[in-house]
Every structure is written in structure tokens, then in C-alpha cells.
Amino acid sequence: MSEKILDEVQTKNTKIDEEEEAKAKEKHERSSVKASTQIDYFLNESFVKDCFQQQNLLSKLNLSDFKILGCEINPLKIRKNKSVIEFKLQFASKKRKKQQQEQQQQPLSKIIVGKWRPDGRGKEIFDLLQEVWHKGFDMEGADDHDNDDEDEHYHLKLYEPIAYFPDYNFMLTSKASGIQLKDMLVQKQVEKKEIETHIMQAASWLAKLHSISLLPGGVYYYSMKEEEEKLNKWSEHLSIHPDFGKQLQSMLSCILKIKRSLNSKCFVLIHNGFHPGNIFVDGSDLTVIDFDHSCISDPAIDLGYFIAKLVHSKREYNLSLNVESLEKRFLEKYASAARMSITTTKETLERVDLYKARSYIRHLYTKYNKQLHSKSNDNKPNPVDFEYWVKKAEECLKSWM
């Protein structure tokens, strides 16, 4: 082929690539504009009132005889990939006989939370919430009789799925009441015994979730391909640390090797984000939120991640928590409440350290990834802190390596 023809072909290919890139960019921009418009709608009080009224939301809230008087909108998080908005709705009765009474009394109010995400996964998450809600967490106000301790009466809850608006990729749920367990850990006025009680509640809640059998096809299995891509990414970025790079690579390879050997028959529905920041405590009630990453996978993931987060909180806030004792009791409570066979439960508990190690390495990646790749010597990881988490992960994996 002549040089002239080659140049023409290359020019043509370059033009095609540029056109495809321009189309992709235009498509992305249109998508971004559409996404931005979707969330902007729910920041407008008039739209929210009309939308909620038209979508028959009041009947879902058991407020069919009421109308929406006002709506206070509080954006909690507005981002391109996910936004969260709090709505404080005020209601008045539709019945005329109650008009005078309404004028003398405060209007009925209710706070609900809206979540938006542009990828369309909101419907999948909403459907999962509904199924889990109806299969174990819809007994509002009732004592949880699965509790083994007669002197402890508490309610294990889930934030209630209320409605999903497919045209806007928008989901509505109830607002979890109370205070985050994460905040309780750092409050000096909260007694250790109370914190221990709530951590035991968390173990019971998790055992309850792991016992739920879902309809086939509703929730995806967390694939090894995803796990390999994620851990390889961590390994690649952390490997440039001059002192611990090879050590971290070796540990991540060990975790992958063990996970590849697992039998998926032992997998259940997991929360996959079970930590004190997603747990709310209100008196005797314990409510868990955020099912965005839930999937079918190893139940030990939730156990290891929760314990690792306790360790992280203790170090970050210099807490006096006896995490070793709490871990022992947490796992014992989970085992006593679990509805798995003795063998399966035992094997699950044996893998907890595996996921504690994974969580510690994940923490290193999240905290120090950018610093490791920074050219500035003034922006390097804290060597003492970095070594601490490497050693914690190594301790957890010593029986496997």
C-alpha cells in the first residue's frame, strides 16, 4: 500500500475516532444535564408537594385523609453519583370538621429521606429493601423474640422503603431515628455498658439479616472478577511504598487465594457496609441503613468489617474500648443468633480475621493512596500509622500465610 493511501487511511481513522469521542462526550454531557435536572426537581418545594401528592405517597404513609401543607427541604449530600435529601413534610386533615381544630394545634409532620443515583440501581436497591422489610423487619413496635436474653428487650429495625420514582431514579425511605452508634462511641457521657449492649444488638441484627432467604434473581452475587480487580488495584497503588509494598502485595494475594477457594453455597445476603456509621440507636431500637452495596456473598465480610471499624475508631479517637473483649462477645452473640448449621457458623467465624485484614488494607488504600503517588516529600504517609495497619493486617493473616 502506498504511503499516500496509508496517510489517507490514518486520517480517516483519526477523524472517525474524533467523531466517536465527540459523540461520547456529547452523550455524557446530555446524561449529566439530565441527571442534574432530575435532582434539581426535588430541591423545589412546589414540585415535591405536587409529585408526592400525585404519586399517591400519602396512602403509602397511611395518611390518605390528609394533604401536604408544606415541605421543608434539607439537602444532606448533593453529588454527581449520589445525592441524599431530607424532607420534613407537614400535613393537615382533608375533613372540614377538623379545620378549627387544626388551627389550634400543630400540624402533623413527618420526616422522610430521598436518595437519588443516576445509574438506575436505585430500583434494584428499593426492591431488595422491600423484600427484606417484609421478610423480617416490618414488625414495627414489636419486641424481637429471636433475642436469647430474657432481660433484654429491643427492636431490630430497617429503614422502611416507601416509594420509588423510576422517571427520576429517586427512592424514598423513612428516616432512621436516634443517634449513630459511631457518635455514641466517642461520647464520654455514654457508659461502656450501654455501648456493649448496642454492639450485641448489632450482632443480633446481622444474624437476622443473614438468615433471610431471597427470591432468585433479585440481588447480584459479588463476583471474584470484581474482587480481583479491586484488590489488584489496591496492590498496584500500595506496592510503591518502599518498606511495605511487597508485604502488602503478598497479603492481598493471600486474601484472593482464600476467597477463590470458598464454596458459594455458604453465601448469604450481606449488608456489605456494616459499620457503626450505618447503625442508629434510639432507646431500645436499633436501625440499620444504606443497602447500596448489598449482595450475595460471604457472611464473614460483615463481621470482619464491623470489628475492623471498631479498631479504627478506637485508634482514631483514642477510645478506651476493650475491642478484643467486645469482638469475642460480638461473635459469640452472632453465633448464638445465627440460623446456620454449627459447621457453617464455625467456618464463617474462622474467616473473620481474613476480612479484618482486608479492611485494614482497604483503610490504607483509602487514606494514603494519593499521598503515596504524590511527588512532594512533604505529603508522604505517616510512617507510624502506616506500619500499624500493616502489622494489624499481618497478625490477622498469620495462620494463612
pTM equals 0.85
pLDDT at residue 390, rounded to an integer: 97
Q: Is the pLDDT of residue 139 over 70?
A: no
Domain boundary among the residues 67, 92, 116 is at 116
**Cα–Cα distance for residue pair 318/179, rounded to 1 Å:** 20
Q: Which tens digits make up the pLDDT trace of 98-124? A: 555 555 556 689 999 999 998 888 999
134 within some domain: no
pLDDT at residue 150, rounded to an integer: 39
Residues whose CB falls within 8 Å of the CB of residue 144, separated by 6 or more in sequence, listed in order:
154, 155, 156, 204, 208
154 within some domain: no
Residue 201 contacts residue 326 (beta carbons within 8 Å): no
Q: Is the domain of 270 the same as that of 196? A: yes
Q: Which tens digits make up the pLDDT trace of 342-387? A: 888 999 999 999 999 999 999 999 999 888 888 776 667 889 999 9
Nearest to 109 by CA among 69, 62, 76, 73: 69
**Alpha-carbon distance values, 274 to 27, 175, 224 (Å):** 36, 18, 20
CA atoms 224, 230, 233, 239: torsion sign: negative
Q: Which tens digits make up the pLDDT trace of 215-242? A: 877 777 888 999 999 999 999 999 989 8
- CATH number where 237 lies: 3.90.1200.10
Q: Percent of the chain, pLDDT > 70?
A: 83
CA dihedral 9→10→12→13, nearest 10 degrees, is 110
Q: Give the domain range for residue 239.
A: 177-397
**Cα–Cα distance for residue pair 23/216, rounded to 1 Å:** 38
343 within some domain: yes
Q: Which tens digits make up the pLDDT trace of 315-331? A: 999 999 999 999 999 99
Residue 38 contacts residue 168 (beta carbons within 8 Å): yes
Q: Is the pLDDT of residue 265 over 60?
A: yes
Q: Which tens digits make up the pLDDT trace of 149-174? A: 433 456 899 999 999 999 899 999 99
91 within some domain: yes
Q: Is the pLDDT of residue 28 over 50?
A: no
384 within some domain: yes
Give the count of domains, the chain.
Answer: 2
Q: Is the domain of 74 the same as that of 210? A: no
Q: Is the domain of 271 the same as that of 369? A: yes
14 within some domain: no
Q: Is the pLDDT of residue 6 over 60?
A: no
What is the chain's mean pLDDT, rounded?
Answer: 85
pLDDT at residue 269, rounded to an integer: 94
